[in-house]
Chain A
């Protein structure tokens, strides 16, 4: 079988969950093409991988781009391009909607994505993997345009408890531009609550968005992203044990981590000359 068909058959093959499903050979085959595409389309700029220590860490990012979340995609590709494919694996925790989509979910699992969950993440860190989480989840990915350069973790502190319990450092990752790939007009949290979407589908916000090809839409569906420039910065690690001890004040730890990330995010956003264009 020729190589493109081999890759295609592997794309279509069912993939198990967790580290077992991660396919380094598939990553190696597809990485150059996907990274080139991302560099051309989003003019991707990623810095700071030299800050990552050689031990399992919890990458904590700000989430953008609605249903597409190009930042997750870009960080995963950048990690494999700049760090390693064969070495310490990267596992990204994704919303269950993403990992359940046929084909796309399978590709995501081959690249190391698993459904978000604290116990799964803990086990992966114990197995020596680096784990990527987006505490802000769908609320942050659907934050309005005016807040596009803000960290919106919505008070979620599970990632802090996970890092502390597993004694791993947090490596913050901030990105700008992802929220400029479509337009979110309002917050939409009240609407999600009113329609009980938070209970039924774990969807916490239902804002009005403007995207291609859908136009004006309540919430968001996978869309054609506007080719906005995306900048990403990996920050120095934060050791919760060193800073906050054995029994941290979680509010204080949360405030500190989000503050560090907000400073870096605002500084990164200050490099933008014109939104979308970069």
Chain B
């Protein structure tokens, strides 16, 4: 298991950034360099289920995820089926706007093979998160 965290500074007020970054319907299509998200269903408790597909090198990580009802500045999801992982996007105030951080924790089966895959996946995931965050930052700062 490994957790990968990346952050991006966004030069906009924190509430404006949070409005985009923690709404799955808005943020998921923007961050397509991170992964492909497809909506499945909305649950009565306000949570949502999505299909997530990430290319982690030669491994294609597919999951059905449950996105928790958003809190003020955080978006959290957890796997329901497929590759075991959980992730969160946090928006916090910064000197010249806001900081968006994204963390993904992923589990691979197997002691040695899982460790090797996890180690390789950390670099790949880091670059994917970075690419997704840059898309998000650009979208908020300059529009589509």
Q: How far is the CB of B98 from chain A (nearest CB, A)?
A: 16
Size of the chain A interface, CB-CB below 8 angstroms: 15
Docked pose: A274 CA to B138 CA in angstroms = 26
Interface status of B88 (Cβ within 8 A of chain A): no
* Given contact pairs A273-B57, A274-B120, A260 touches B127 in the complex (Cβ within 8 A): no
Docked pose: A270 CA to B124 CA in angstroms = 7
Interface status of A15 (Cβ within 8 A of chain B): no
Identify which of B17-25, B45-53, B66-74, B128-136 touches chain A: B128-136
Query: Does B141 lie within 8 Å of A266, measured CB to CB?
Result: no
Which residues of chain A are near B33, meaning CB under 8 Å?
A: 266-267, 270
Q: Is the interface of A mostly helix, strand, loop or mixed?
A: helix
Query: Does B123 lie within 8 Å of A266, measured CB to CB?
Result: no
Enumerate chain A interface residues (CB-CB to B < 8 A). 149, 255-256, 259-260, 262-263, 266-267, 269-270, 272-275
Interface status of B64 (Cβ within 8 A of chain A): no
Q: Is the interface of B mostly helix, strand, loop or mixed?
A: helix
Query: Does A256 lie within 8 Å of B130, measured CB to CB?
Result: no
11 new A-B pairs (CB below 8 Å) besides A256-B142, A259-B138?
A149-B127, A149-B130, A263-B131, A263-B138, A266-B127, A267-B134, A272-B127, A273-B57, A273-B120, A274-B123, A275-B123
Interface size class of B (residues with CB under 8 A): 10 to 19
Q: Which of B123, B124, B134, B141 has the most CB of A within 10 A?
A: B134
Interface status of B85 (Cβ within 8 A of chain A): no
Query: Does B131 lie within 8 Å of A269, measured CB to CB?
Result: yes
Docked pose: A204 CA to B134 CA in angstroms = 27
16 A–B pairs (Cβ distance < 8 Å), ordered by A = A149-B127, A149-B130, A259-B141, A263-B131, A263-B134, A266-B127, A266-B135, A267-B131, A269-B127, A270-B130, A270-B131, A272-B127, A273-B120, A274-B57, A274-B120, A275-B123
Docked pose: A214 CA to B29 CA in angstroms = 47
